[in-house]
């Protein structure tokens, strides 16, 4: 969050990001990795002065929200990207770190994927709009990032690079010129606490089962971070846990329209928590799903839509996370709070109050029960 007070330095460590993904070379020019204001030797963590006991790190506030695109009534808002999401930005900007899913192709060129029922497209200003709204990390590991095919992808990466140069605190993850770049975490340092954000998709493309994996990045092919086989995702989370104090995983998963998580979602969430994830969140159902505790971690199965062309209930989930005293320990979510909202006819969320807010809270309790999560 670029509006943090003194002592809050929400910056990224490019060298550490490379360590987390097992890379040995510098990031390419089109990969949006945040610059660092700290000096660190690759593979090492900051240490306290020997004569001074290490102070317990302060908790960090991480805000997560759902799907964002700029279709329909939202398209014209990109004419002024600085205010495109302004009515909905306060809850994001108030956190130390804000993460959303950008569910659209971005850039110029390419052509709509043939046979695809919904095709989303936005100009490069989409990244500027997210940064202006207080978003620190945007994942593009989803089933719409390549709606205009791989031929648009170089334009997407150039636009992300330009947005980073204009506002270095915005990171775009979950997409890249190969699998290593697509799975590379965003690494943010907040008051001395290192937060790694990992993104991946297990969603079908249209959805149509025979198209699954079509846009997956590989060792030789650009695309999105695909976790239909979750092995690489699990390994990335484990590496992140060894180098970062807090690990957040944002997954595009589940069944569209469903309010309760599928067995596959619940199984993958358990594996991610077991691998060291402290926070696991996701989208794809376009509905809010349950959130709560799963063992030592906090899981929000479905964040729903956030800025979208159809009305519906939404919100921003802000988690207060206490980092471990030692890197070998686990972070702990000490508080969760929702900015309760509903998407209006303008495509933007507005805050709920009174009976509507009470109904939102009751619905959260109901959805937690069907998700198998604890308070």
Predicted confidence at residue 56, as pLDDT, reads 72
CA distance 261 to 145: 23
Predicted confidence at residue 214, as pLDDT, reads 82
| The CATH number of domain 11-21+57-371, selected from 2.60.200.30, 3.60.21.10, 3.20.20.80, 3.40.50.720 | 3.60.21.10
Contact, 130 vs 85, CB < 8 A?
Answer: yes
DSSP letter for each residue of 121-153: EE-THHHHHHHHTT--EEE--STTTTTT-GGGH
Neighbouring residues of 259: CB distance < 8 A, sequence distance ≥ 6: 285, 287, 288, 289, 302, 367, 370
The H or E element spanning position 193 is strand 193-201
Predicted confidence at residue 136, as pLDDT, reads 97
For helices 231-243 and 263-275, angle between their N-to-C axes, nearest 10 degrees:
30
CA distance 208 to 292: 30
Predicted confidence at residue 187, as pLDDT, reads 97
| DSSP strand pairing (279-283 vs 291-294) | unpaired
Predicted confidence at residue 87, as pLDDT, reads 80
**Could you give the C-alpha distances from 261 to 61, 101, 102, in angstroms and in order?**
25, 18, 21
CA distance 98 to 246: 14
Half-sphere exposure of 280 (CA within 13 A, CB side): 33
Q: pTM for the whole thing?
A: 0.87
Which tokens sit at 189? 């340092």
- Per domain, the residue ranges of the chain are 11-21+57-371
**Could you give the C-alpha distances from 135 to 69, 132, 305, in angstroms and in order?**
14, 7, 15
What is the gyration radius of the CA atoms in the chain, in angstroms? 19
Predicted confidence at residue 114, as pLDDT, reads 86
Contact, 367 vs 358, CB < 8 A?
Answer: no
Contact, 361 vs 98, CB < 8 A?
Answer: no
Contact, 285 vs 255, CB < 8 A?
Answer: yes
| DSSP category for residue 303 | B
Q: Per residue of the chain (375 residues), what is the pLDDT tens digit?
A: 543 332 333 344 444 444 444 432 333 333 333 333 222 222 333 333 343 445 677 999 999 999 999 999 999 999 999 999 998 899 999 999 999 999 999 999 999 988 888 999 999 999 999 999 999 999 999 999 999 999 999 999 999 999 999 999 899 999 999 999 999 999 999 999 999 999 999 987 554 444 456 889 999 999 999 999 999 999 999 999 999 999 999 999 999 999 999 999 999 999 999 999 999 999 999 999 999 999 999 999 999 999 999 999 999 999 999 999 887 789 999 999 999 999 999 999 999 999 999 999 999 999 999 999 998
């Amino acid at each position: 969050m670029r509006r943090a007070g003194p002592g809050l330095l929400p910056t990224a460590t490019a060298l550490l990001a490379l360590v987390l993904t097992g890379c040995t070379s510098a990031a390419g020019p089109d990969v949006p990795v945040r610059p660092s204001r700290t000096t660190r030797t690759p593979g090492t963590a900051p240490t306290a002065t020997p004569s001074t006991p290490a102070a317990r790190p302060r908790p960090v506030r991480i805000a997560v929200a759902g799907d964002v695109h700029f279709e329909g009534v939202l398209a014209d808002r990109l004419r002024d990207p600085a205010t495109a999401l302004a009515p909905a930005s306060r809850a994001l900007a108030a956190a130390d770190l804000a993460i959303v899913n950008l569910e659209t192709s971005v850039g110029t060129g390419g052509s709509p994927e043939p046979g695809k029922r919904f095709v989303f497209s936005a100009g490069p200003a989409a990244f500027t709009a997210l940064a202006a709204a207080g978003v620190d990390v945007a994942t593009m590991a989803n089933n719409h990032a390549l709606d205009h095919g791989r031929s648009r992808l170089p334009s997407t990466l150039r636009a992300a690079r330009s947005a980073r140069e204009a506002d270095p605190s915005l990171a775009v993850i979950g997409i890249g010129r190969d699998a290593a770049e697509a799975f590379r975490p965003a690494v943010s340092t907040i008051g001395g606490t290192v937060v790694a954000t990992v993104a991946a998709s297990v969603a079908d493309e249209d959805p149509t089962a025979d198209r699954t994996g079509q846009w997956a990045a590989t060792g030789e092919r650009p695309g999105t971070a695909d976790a239909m086989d979750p092995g690489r995702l699990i390994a990335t989370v484990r590496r992140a846990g060894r180098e970062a104090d807090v690990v957040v995983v944002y997954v595009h998963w589940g069944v569209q329209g469903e309010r309760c998580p599928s067995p596959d979602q619940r199984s993958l969430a358990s594996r991610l928590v077991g691998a060291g994830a402290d926070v696991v969140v996701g989208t794809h159902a376009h509905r809010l799903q349950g959130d709560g505790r799963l063992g030592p971690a906090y899981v929000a199965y479905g964040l729903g839509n956030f800025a979208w062309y159809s009305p519906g209930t939404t919100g921003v989930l802000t988690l207060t996370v206490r980092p471990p005293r030692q890197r070998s320990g686990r972070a702990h979510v000490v508080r969760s709070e929702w900015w309760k909202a509903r998407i209006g006819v303008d495509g933007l969320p507005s805050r709920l109050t009174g009976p509507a807010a009470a109904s939102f809270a009751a619905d959260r309790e109901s959805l937690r029960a069907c998700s198998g999560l604890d308070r």
